Structure 1
């Protein structure tokens, strides 16, 4: 299969700037650079993990891809179509192929609706099933995620967090999507439940030939499920590589610091922790030059004046650093 036929999603120069106002007359004071120029691709059947600190823009990026937010600049190409150039009705038709699993299973489900109605809603909206066929499809979806037919008549408050997330996954699967954005899909769950949901997602991906964008700040979960990993910092991708290579040989200082914080399960093995100095810069006033230079232990003069491009390194990593490790 050629690379062109494998390509499912292509993001080009994607930006989202949120204006903010201040003062008595609410005049615009500036803009928050939530996403500040993303370029990446996702192939069919793979999982691209996106990681970074809270506030780095990874969830905003997911919403931009799904056209839940209108980008300030850039393009999102899905199956050869530029989603950012489509009208509302065309986006609605395409959206059945693009779904999302939300972070919080408690607030993402309507507490007044029964499970049957929650899972059936997207099927009814798109007019795909009616009557007995609709109910049969809902039962099929619930069984796919490890729930039974008797769960259909219950409300969300009658389930545990893990079960609620399974309901959210069933709803995301209802329209047979090609791409699912998992936005912190396991972050609100207990560790033991996280592993169950991650294994379920991997199983469903294999059976249904799904493609995932898995957004998280927990590196162990991202390592478990991802094929490639993009590391975001202050609205930009600073490193992108395949999973094993990234964990074994990080090329960007920020990636190196993130990986140093991952706990090692062996108490006899000592690991040197890299402590970054300072806080994440204000995205309303990002640093000039390299966005990471204010916290980077290797920063030099060029880092303070010239932003580095995301370039391919000798080992295949894409890294935005003047002095990659």
Structure 2
């Protein structure tokens, strides 16, 4: 009898509320619910895409998973360990297996450091290599991402955006992690360069058995690289499905609207665009009931009063909607 494999990463009830203060005496007036209770499982070797509008909480979720910021509530389990209760030293050791590729290759690299120093820094900090062995490892990492030995002594300002992101990828690979969070890793790059970086990430995943969380707002990039996709809206996951199911049959109205905005490359084809009415509500004051009801074209009274839960609508396809499509 086949058993379901245990997830590499499991997130339970994860929340991050940022308090804000106002007035002469800086009295706390409320909190911004950047992430407002999400549950996720990521399995070894897969790519989970997280998409949504700017401000939906997807990047904050990535930082919470890596424990770069402390959660308000919830649990993060990685390789069987509860990350939120680890000591600083235990967390430092666990972080060797979980790395991040940042959105902006221009600001994520220290301009005063050479490429050799940037890529070797994680190896030095964890005491893994020294001397000639360290340099040999750095050269190996650079070659993995399509760079060469003559790049070692150069500084970040001497590279294009795509090359800088390759340096960032090499740094993320240095400690041989099992999980990499790609936080908008291609959004700052030209479209032609985006495809090169996406193909590089797929190639590295196959060669090194990597697991990715790929955070982005561009659906074509997410479709190209992801196995499963989570759609976020106002700090919550509103739909979770495999790639083919999500794109062929979106079950949440928000996902349907997002997909309708993706341009079709064939000028002879016409696509009906779903225009959402109103603005994205403030995460400091989210609406009662379903968080999407203020913009939903199918809203009913139930939606205004009771928040739907994320539940399976079909095999492997879950949506947080009282009236799924």
TM bin, normalised by shorter chain, reads: over 0.9
Alignment partner of 1:150: what SS?
Answer: helix
Match of 2:16 in 1: 16
Q: Give the match for residue 102 of structure 2.
A: 102
Q: Distance in 2 between matches of 1:193 and 1:97?
A: 27
Q: 1:58-103 deviations in whole A, cap 9, x for unaligned?
A: 0000000000000000000001110011111111010010000000
Aligned mates of 1:160, 1:79 — CA distance in 2: 36
User: Aligned equivalents of 2:72 and 2:323: distance in 1?
Assistant: 30
The aligned counterpart of 1:206 is: 206
SS at match of 2:5: helix
Residue of structure 2 equivalent to 1:248: 248
Provide the aligned C-alpha RMSD in A: 0.7
Aligned twin of 2:4? 3
Query: Which residue in the other structure is 1:271 paired with?
Result: 271
Mind listing any 5+ residue stretches in structure 2 that lack a counterpart? Answer: none
Distance across 1 between alignment mates of 2:126 and 2:111: 22
Kindly indicate whether residue 59 of structure 2 is the aligned counterpart of residue 59 of structure 1. yes
Task: Give CA deviations for 1:271-292 in whole Å, capped at 9, x if unaligned.
Answer: 0000000010000000010000
Three-state SS of the structure 2 residue aligned to 1:254 is: helix
Unpaired segments of 5 or more residues in structure 1?
none
Question: 2: CA distance between counterparts of 1:306 and 1:114?
Answer: 55
Distance in structure 2 (CA, Å) of the matches to 1:179 and 1:315: 26
Aligned-pair CA distance for 1:3: 2.2
Distance in 2, Cα, partners of 1:206 & 1:100? 18
> Structure 1, residues 153-175: CA drift from partner, whole Å, max 9, x if none?
00000000000000000000000
Query: Residue 113 of structure 1 aligns with which residue?
Result: 113
Instruction: For residues 200-256 of structure 1, give each alpha carbon's deviation from its aligned partner in whole angstroms, at most 9, with x where no partner exists.
Output: 000000000000000000000000000000000000000000001100000000000
1:197 matched residue in structure 2: 197
Deviation at 1:314, TM superposition (A): 2.7
Question: In structure 1, what is the equivalent of residue 259 of structure 2?
Answer: 259
Cα distance in 2 for partners of 1:274, 1:170 equals 40
What stretches of structure 1 move > 3 A for 4+ residues in a row? none
1:200 and 1:310 map into 2 onto residues whose CA distance is 33
Task: Report the equivalent of 1:122.
Answer: 122
2:296 corresponding residue in structure 1? 296
Deviation at 1:315, TM superposition (A): 4.5
Q: Distance in 2 between matches of 1:316 and 1:44?
A: 17
Deviation at 1:261, TM superposition (A): 0.1
| 1:227 aligns to 2:227 (yes or no) | yes
How many residue pairs end up in the alignment?
324
Instruction: Return the alpha-carbon distance in structure 1 between the equivalents of residues 277 and 223 of structure 2.
Output: 26
TM-score, with length taken from structure 2: 0.99
What residue is the counterpart of 2:168 in the other structure? 168
1:316, CA displacement in angstroms? 3.2
Q: Partners of 2:72 and 2:168 in 1: how far apart? A: 29
Q: 2:314 matched to which residue of 1? A: 314
- Which residue is 2:87 aligned to? 87
